[in-house]
Copies of this chain bind each other. A is one copy, B any other.
């Protein structure tokens, strides 16, 4: 499991990631992956679209979705269910998620091993390749402020 976010800060690394994954390397795809890898995590497709079209390569909405699907298939990007719109995350560092029921923030939680031993019995007869743990509750700043913060992304 590579840690793209740590090592792929240079354009060359991103190009290499595409080739390693057997994906065609286009400026648009580069922009999508670079945006996710270097700048923002938990970005929605729309945020990616806006950011890219603010910059140089310019990609259409369809192309952004297209690229995201290619990257998902290749395992370079992860989809997080979060809320209404899907969020994408290039950080392949394993981590869990926490969703604040009050302000909707989606935060990363440091990785710890899921209880696969305890799960073994319950999961018998299946081939398990992954486990997403999503915790829910009230995040730190909502606890502090005591009120509802702006609904949105804060991770």
Which chain A residues have a beta carbon within 8 Å of chain B's beta carbons?
81, 96, 98, 100-101, 109-115, 118-119, 121-123, 125-140, 143
Contact = CB atoms under 8 A, between A and B. Distances in A.
A44 to B, nearest CB: 16
Nearest to A100: B126
Count copies of this chain in the complex.
2
A129 B137 contact: yes
A136 B132 contact: yes
Contact of A126 (B96, B114, B127, B140): B140
Nearest to A109: B122
Contacts of A81: 81
Contacts of A114: 114-115, 133
